[in-house]
Amino acid sequence: MKAQISFNQPKDVSPNDLHGVIIRFPFTVRKIQDGANKDIISDHTIDAEITSSLQATWRLESNIPPLQNNALVKTLFEHARREIENKMKSGSLDQHSKIDLHVGNSQQSNPFDPEKIPEPTGFSYEVELKNHIGFKL
């Protein structure tokens, strides 16, 4: 069984007193049903938070607004995308998820090349679900 994940426009949801950035990635999951059965569609969000110290360590500029920082958005998007995929494959995807990236749980350098990561808005792809594992609606 397959599920299609389609992303909408990310949003900066960082509170003013946060020493870091939170980008919310809204997405829709379409669980593709067999035959003439109706697909199951649900809307979800995942918040990707990065501390200012990790942002500096990874050399993701902090002097421009977060949504205008393409390298930052794409890096957080790739972390979020992988988390979503892992949760879908394990059957633990909720309506809302969050990941926290900080120097204590992350590599010393950015593990991704932002130039190779697609733009989040409008990005869509399919995930193969084994054993008909579902997700929470």
**What is the per-residue pLDDT for 66?**
93
Count of domains forming the chain? 1
* 12 within domain boundaries: yes
85 belongs to a structural domain:
yes
Whether residue 62 lies inside any domain: the answer is: yes
DSSP type of residue 37: P
Per-residue tokens: 104: 């204590």
Distance in angstroms (rounded) separating the CA atoms of residues 72 and 115: 11
For position 46, what pLDDT does the model report?
Answer: 98
pLDDT at 133: 54
Residues recorded for the chain: 137
- Residue 136 falls within a domain, yes or no? no
Confidence class for position 13, pLDDT limits 50, 70, 90: very high
3-class SS of residue 70: helix
pLDDT band at residue 134, thresholds of 50, 70 and 90? low
Residue 133: inside a domain: no
Q: What is the pLDDT of residues 48-71, one digit of tens each?
A: 999 999 999 999 988 889 999 999
Task: Give the pLDDT confidence of 72-107 residue by residue, as tens digits.
Answer: 999 999 999 999 999 988 888 999 999 999 999 998
What's the rounded Cα separation, in Å, for the pair 33 and 135? 14
Containing domain of residue 22, as a range?
2-128
Tell me the two tokens of residue 136.
């929470």
- 128 pLDDT band, cuts 50/70/90, is confident
- pTM here is 0.91
**pLDDT over 90, % of the chain:** 72
The beta strand positions in 1-137, using DSSP E, are 2-7, 11-12, 20-32, 40-51, 96-101, 124-128
**Alpha-carbon gap, residue 31 to 5, rounded angstroms:** 9
pLDDT-based confidence at 129, cuts 50/70/90?
confident
